[in-house]
Structure formats: C-alpha cells, structure tokens
Amino acid sequence: MLRPGADPQNVQQSDVLCNFCERVWTDDLPLIEGHQGSIICGHCLRAACANLEKGVLAPSHSSCTMCLEHRDDPAWESPAVKASVICARCINLGARSLERDKDFNWKRA
Ligand SMILES: [Zn+2]
Ligand SMILES: [Zn+2]
C-alpha cells in the first residue's frame, strides 16, 4: 500500500508500506506485490506460513488483500492491521517466489 498522503505520480521507496504491518519498504526487506498495489513483507509472510501450518482459519467473510478474491480456504488475518487478509494460495505463491529470490535468504520457517 502507499503511505497515506503519498503522491501516486512520484512514489518513493519510503512511501511503500506492507499492508499487513505497515512496515516501510527498505532494500533489505523482501516483499511481494499483489493487486492494486497491495504489499506483503517477508516478516508477515512468514507469520502467515506458520499460521497455515497450524491450520488456523481467518474470518471467512473477508476477501484476500492480495488477490481480492474470497475463498473458503485457510487464510491469515494480520493481527496488526485488521481486515488485511491473505489467502492460502497467495501465501504459498508468495513464499515460493521469495524462497527463489537470490537477493534474500528468506525461508518460510
Ligand atoms: Zn509486513
Ligand atoms: Zn489471495
């Protein structure tokens, strides 16, 4: 997401925030982009992966912040930013692409 008040015509790296924890994007912060500028950082993605392994379901009424779809699958809702939800498919896709990214030594656990 963009920091509130950021100029969409002149976006700086520091204007880009994780939708799930509002951490600011820095060069050493891995992140995954979803639809409509939604962002999840590596920290949140790791928490989401751990949650998936526990089999915890997020509220079923909400749609995924990343793909904007609603699914009846497990999902993770951010404890920090309410209504920010990522579905199991986006968690797995995101984790796979971060694990492949050689710039970061990111592991899901
Ligand atoms: Zn985050
Ligand atoms: Zn999704």
What is the pLDDT at residue 82? 86
What is the pLDDT at residue 93? 97
Q: Are 23 and 29 in contact (CB under 8 A)?
A: yes
- Which pTM was predicted? 0.92
Q: How far is the CA of 70 from the centre of ligand 1 (A)?
A: 21
Give domain status of residue 41, yes or no. Answer: yes
Which ligand is in closest contact with the Cα of 76? 2
Give domain status of residue 8, yes or no. Answer: no
What is the pLDDT at residue 60? 65
Give domain status of residue 108, yes or no. Answer: no
What is the pLDDT at residue 74? 86
pLDDT along the chain (109 residues), means of 10: 94 96 96 96 97 80 90 88 93 96 92
Q: How far is the CA of 33 from the centre of ligand 2 (A)?
A: 11
Give domain status of residue 40, yes or no. Answer: yes
Give domain status of residue 5, yes or no. Answer: no
Stated as kind and residue range, the H or E segment containing 97 is: helix 88-100
Domain that holds residue 90: 13-100
What is the pLDDT at residue 55? 82
